Amino acid sequence: MEALIKKRINQVLKGDQNAFGEIVELYKDKVFQLCFRMLGNRHEAEDLAQEAFVRAFVNIHSFKINMKFSTWLYRIATNLCIDRLRKKKPDYHLDAEVAGTEGLNMYSQIASDTLKPEEEVASLELQESIQAEITKLPEKYRSVIVLKYIEELSLKEISDILDLPVGTVKTRIHRGREALRKQLRHF
Amino acid sequence: MNCHEDIIEYMHDYLDEDITSEHQEILRSHLQTCSECREYFHEMKKAVALVQSTSHIKAPDDFTARVMAQLPKEKKQVGAKRWFKQHPLLTAASLFIVLMTGSVFSTYNEDQQFSVSKQPNLIVEGETVIVPEGKTVEGDIIVQNGDIRIEGQVDGDVTVINGQQYMAAAGNVTGQIEEIDQAFEWLWFKIKHTVKSIVYPEAGEKSGEEN
């Protein structure tokens, strides 16, 4: 896998854009998933996942060939998501009750555009609720939790992606898990 | 939470799959006796399982096409390379012109000294070449960085580069007389001359130059 990717990268470096198309095919689901779990919004996730690939293409010459490509790519995607989350500090909280209603918060106001109809399963509602809980996590815990439990990466890889010491990653996973435990205990 | 923070730490280590067998033993025996911790541990494992259960979603079908459409146009460098590959003849021609111009200019710089075509009957005084009265020079004369005074007869062309020609009343030139002052005229002359010597090699050989 990595050998194939490296071959494709060399082709891209020589100016072959089509070789990059193959790289996108291989990683699109992972990157899209990462962005979706980070942002909790399908439309924004698509935007940022595409942006991540475009940036990877533009900066492909700065990719060090002895590095793992996925690590580098996830780093670009994660940083884009974190930037986006920091920029749009929500001016209204999703948890806040809508004025004049009782027990009705902003979640119920959002059109459920997060999953395609063909993916509709019995557990759809549960899935959405879990995603909502992930979205509630502070950004620094959310990124480690998503990388660990959704992308199933090792602590070492997460530390490479976020450019943080393994110890810090560990602490953040612990805090994130504590937060999730409190949020999800009544599910 | 009343229990030791140690136990919770062991729970995290366990979930990270990074627990020593010693700590695992402590955790196991503690969980058997403490229901509160057992509940806590269960909640934590459930939270992880729920997060992991979120079905793996896929990128939209047109994702790759849309990324490719957003890529910047291929770099000019690559485009130029491809152009060269597709037009080998034009590439060769332009390369020829570049090298040609370069070599001609370098000869121009070398030729800043006085020089004159070697012909019999020519007299050189300082930087002035004299065709003496009553004598005939057969062949072309090229004078560089000097003047020429023609008092006799020249059966051929006279070319003066960066100099002047004076024609005496008795002087006679059967061919053309040309004065060249500027680099570009000189360049044009040089190219004409080179082409001539390629087309008619024997004419070029006849007028051997001397610095």
Tens of pLDDT, residues A38-88:
999 999 999 999 999 999 999 999 998 888 999 999 999 999 999 999 887
- Pair B111, B144: CB distance under 8 Å: yes
Q: How far apart are CA A112 and CA A121, in angstroms?
A: 14
Whether A36 sits inside 8 A of B57 (CB atoms) is: yes
User: What is the mean predicted confidence (pLDDT) over A110-118?
Assistant: 50
Helices A166-184 and A124-136 sit at what angle, rounded to 10 degrees? 130
pLDDT at residue B56 in the model: 79
Q: Which residues of A touch B38 (CB under 8 A)?
A: none
Q: Alpha-carbon distance A152 to A129, whole Å?
A: 21
Q: Do B55 and A119 touch (CB under 8 A)?
A: yes
Contact (CB<8Å) A180/B58? no
Complex ipTM value:
0.77
**How high is the pLDDT of residue A143?**
95
Chain A residue numbers touching B76 (CB-CB < 8 A): none
Residues of chain B whose pLDDT is less than 50? 204-211
CA A94 to CA A133: how far, in whole Å?
11
pLDDT band at A97 (very low <50, low <70, confident <90, very high): very low
CB contact under 8 A, B48 and A180: yes
Which tens digits make up the pLDDT trace of A163-178?
999 999 999 999 999 9
- What is the structure's pLDDT at B108? 62
- Asked whether B146 and B128 are in contact (CB, 8 A), the reply is yes
